[in-house]
Amino acid sequence: MNEDPYNPSTPPQPPQAAPRQNWLLRGLLFIIKSGVRATITIIVSLTIMFIIMLYIIGNFADTTPSIENNSILHIDLTMNLVDTPPAMTLEQLLGEALGQEYIPTYSVRDLVSTIIRAKTDRRISGILISGSLQPMNYGASYPALRELKRALLDFKESEKPIYSYTLYPSARDLYIHTVADEAYINHTGSLLLPGLYSEPMFFANAMEKYGIGVQAVRVGEYKSAVEPFTRENLSDEAREAEQLLLDQLWAQLVSDIARQRELDTLELIRTLNDRPLFTADQAVELGLYDRSVTYNEMENVLNELTGEDAFGNMFKETDLLDYTLEKDLVTSPGTGPAVAVVYAEGVILNGYAEPTQAGEARIVEELRAARLNENVKAIILRVNSPGGSASASEMIQDELLSIKQQGLPVIVSMGGYAASGGYYISQTADKVYAHPHTITGSIGIYGLLFHLGEAAGKLGITFDEVKTNENSDIFSIAEPKTDEQIALIQSYLQEFYDEWMALVRTNRELGDEDIYEIAKGRVWSGVQAKTYGLVDELGDLYDAIEYAAETAGISENYVVRDYPQKQSPEDAIATALGLDVKVAQKLSALTREQQLQILSELSKTQHFSTSTTLKEQLRAIYTQLETLNQLNDPLNSYALMPFQYR
């Protein structure tokens, strides 16, 4: 009789325990397999990075620029203009190698030095300016644009012409176009000059709705950085300060444009107040542009100057990127006595932070490197920052004081912003330069203390606590701070503020009444700051460099060194991939055939293809790894000015 498998006649027997050595063997095999998988993953990842680096270096090697005689240098303003020499990301490098479009970032000094070289370059017969600026973070500020404008005005002394061509210019674009000998606007284009505005967002109602509590402490009634979290609108003090500042900045901007275009300033201010939008013909009639043209008409003008290029194009031109690359290949910073320029750009944070932020550890490291360089005879701190962490600002200032004690001149050049913590790191310099458009001051400090107990309770989340001291929970996020704890934090901020006032009073040689009247967290333009003694001179970075060299006694023969230095393509690739720079330098020495041979062999063994989908894959990886910019002061105390205008 067949036994029913679902109803066996004999009860099932319990499984026999496997011998102990079998379990040990399986565990050992699992560990070995895991190790092998991890090793293979690492090898494949390194191989992929190696292939990427070879591919990019090969593309850079194949694109050595060739510049024809009698060429126009084409400066496309579709860029972000920053102070700090930018570090290229792997995505940007790969995109460039694959011919992908992206918005480039140029540093002020790099762009200026390129224009200075073009002035005496016999192959360059003029400059064409086109495109529209793309401000990001704290880039393309008017002080940065003033540096560019100054270089273009200097270029005109060579009697080489400058042309500008635009379609829908912004106020920033127009500011640069005013230097052109011939400023063209496309006949279908338009000009929008609505003025400046600030539009802060307020979260108090939303936070109350969702049960998020906030307690704000501050010193300085104009320190408005806390208001977005505590109010529904601007306070009277904040509105007064911002209105005065914007009015001054707008008047200065219109005055600069009117002077360059030989127009009446008051008449232009009245016209723009009544009417912000102009057609191309109306912009020409107003005197802001010379002619409304088609693109072909503009090309014909340049063709008369240069003739056709070797490929039959309408006029000979060299791209800004190509010309800058050639400049970097044939020039070196030189040797001998030097003026160092150290950059503090972006929100001031503790640690190294991101390249677009002013990481305290990185800035201190670069200041120290400049101080220890025996060729450096003076140091300039270029500041373009609204401030940030109070403790990070203090550590940067400590390093600047060490430099002064060593006897090196310390000069500050203020860019678009040098406010709050940005002013804190500027105040002790031997001399402080600001641009009329610089937003500075904001001498004050604040703290924001959030508590999420009510919001968490709505989700069924509760808190409990165990503590050793009465104030162990002073930075807890569960409950509001007690009155005593708020008083402790307020006392700490007041002490920091009083010490700050003492430093400003000593370094700026101001009286008690003067300093307290111009502090209070209030922001000022560079012109106002000069009037009140917060800065010494109105000028740009090159004014500060000339003064630094003169003070150090090296004005006859010196070089300028940037900290950080501009990276070569090979160095940028190695940095982006996290590899030793020496590896990239060795690879770049290989011939194109050797690079392709290595690439071919690795592709066969790894079945890897450098297709355009790689860019999308890398973009996805970087998107996952990208983190939010967060303030990270250990005591939640910030000297930060949130004010920005457009």
Of 149, 223, 377, 481, which is the active-site residue? 223
Structure token pair of residue 584: 């990239």
Distance of CA 397 to the CA centre of its chain: 21
Contact 66, 311 (CB under 8 A): no
The β-bridge partners of 381 are: 342, 412
Instruction: Choose, from 389, 420, 426, 442, the residue flagged as catalytic.
Output: 420
Count how many Cα atoms sit within 13 Å of the Cα of residue 371 in the half-sphere of its side chain: 19
Task: Check if the beta carbon of residue 91 is closer than 8 Å to that of residue 152.
Answer: no
Under 8 Å between Cβ of 132 and 192 = no
Full DSSP string of 431-482: EEEE-TT-EEE---EEEEEEE-HHHHHHTT-------SSTTTTTT-SSSPPP
**Running DSSP on this structure, what letter comes out for residue 225?**
G
C-alpha 110/C-alpha 39 separation (Å) is: 43
Q: How far apart are CA 229 and CA 300, in angstroms?
A: 57
Runs of H (alpha helix) within 123-188: 142-155, 171-177
The torsion defined by the Cα of 388, 389, 391 and 393, in degrees rounded to 10, comes to -20
Phi-psi sector, 509: left (phi>0), alpha (psi -120 to 50), beta: left
- The angle formed by the CA atoms of residues 505, 637 and 423, to the nearest 5 degrees, is 35
Q: Give the Cβ contact number of residue 614 at 10 Å.
A: 17
Place of tokens 């060429």: 71
CA nearest to 168, candidates 134, 192, 152: 192
Told to judge if 223 belongs to the known catalytic residues of this protein, a careful annotator would answer yes
Give Cβ neighbours of residue 130 (< 8 Å, ≥ 6 apart): 74, 75, 76, 77, 164, 165, 166
Does the active-site annotation cover 420? yes
**CA–CA separation, 311 vs 330, rounded Å?**
26
Q: Residue 342 and residue 335: Cα distance in Å, rounded? A: 18
| Integer angstrom CA distances of residue 364 from 86, 131, 191, 368, 432 | 18, 37, 44, 6, 19
Say which residues have a Cβ less than 8 Å from residue 77's Cβ, sequence separation at least 6. 129, 130, 131, 132, 133, 173, 176
Q: Report how far residue 440's alpha carbon sits from residue 522's, in angstroms, rounded to the nearest whole number.
A: 9
CA gap 384, 386 in Å, rounded: 7
Residues belonging to the active site: 223, 420
